[in-house]
Amino acid sequence: MRAVVAARAGGPEVLEPTDVADPAPGPDEVLVRVAAAGVNFIDTYRRTGTYPMSYPHVVGSEGAGEVVAVGPEVTTLAPGDRVAWADVPGSYAELVAVPERSALVVPPGLDDRTAAALPLQGMTAHYLAASTFPLERGHDVLLHAAAGGVGLLLTQLAAARGARVIGTVGSAEKEALARAAGAADVIRYRDLSDLTAELPALVRDLTAGRGVHVVYDSVGRDTFDASLAALRTRGTLVLFGGSSGQVPPFDLQRLNAAGSLFVTRPTLAHHTLTRDELEWRWREVAEPAAAGALDVRVGATFPLADAAEAHRALEGRATTGKVLLLP
């Protein structure tokens, strides 16, 4: 089969389309013919070595497709079933061996591309809104990268819970997408000459001087100081990514001085510890998406062989919504 291999740590150029042996399902695995694979920032962290990996390795961890074979211990799936997954290494490939415990049944009415676009970003948006900082009516939210894959989904989930979303974006096109998803206010960060000083001031103008209850920040290094300064007393900064780079160590006394603030760095794996929790989060996003109540935007698709171009587009902030690779 064809797969995309990172031969060493580095930039997008290290991603090489390669012929590799077809995987065989283990006793508790299903073999899936991949219809689409999701491209995520975590893939770039693993490619560069920010997250330690062994090299060479087949890149990717998310996708959707049709089961073509099952291991002897599999009891809940059969050939012909459609499944998706969020955390299976080696997903930039034509075939993937998916553990039964990780396979998410795709509901009727959800097409393959939407199913591939939803697991990681959809369940991330769900735990951010429902668990990390449970949003309620009356909460003010600052959401960076509001037109990104997680951003558009989280905006919809937050608005549905009655929260007011202030989104940051980089262009007029992205502003329109964020507003269509339910953002009440949108700030174009490229219009600001000093993000750290001007963004918190704009946020306080929009919140009667108080600041927001929570900031959801997937950008990291470039926005961290502005995010802290935009919080109200006892506000929470949820740092769930680092598209601009990782936040360097900082003095915890800053949290005290700024109003007894909270900072957390969550990840999806810790919010899907059991099969019941995984299925709950998947149902909460997959069923509304299948019914048309949750809009899942696929912003760009690339052939599997063009994975390097997909990474360049994602890291260059040239995308909106979800990026997919098509084998």
Mean pLDDT of the chain, nearest integer: 97
pLDDT at residue number 320 = 86
Ramachandran sector of residue 162 (left: φ over 0; alpha: ψ -120 to 50; beta: rest): left
Alpha-carbon distance values, 166 to 153, 154, 214 (Å): 14, 12, 11
The CATH T-level fold of domain 121-268 is Rossmann fold (3.40.50)
Domain edges within the chain:
2-118+296-326, 121-268
13-50 pLDDT tens trace: 999 999 999 999 999 999 999 999 999 999 999 999 98
- 2-118+296-326 belongs to which homologous superfamily? Medium-chain alcohol dehydrogenases, catalytic domain (3.90.180.10)
Mean pLDDT of 90-108: 98
Mean pLDDT of 139-144: 98
pTM of structure:
0.94
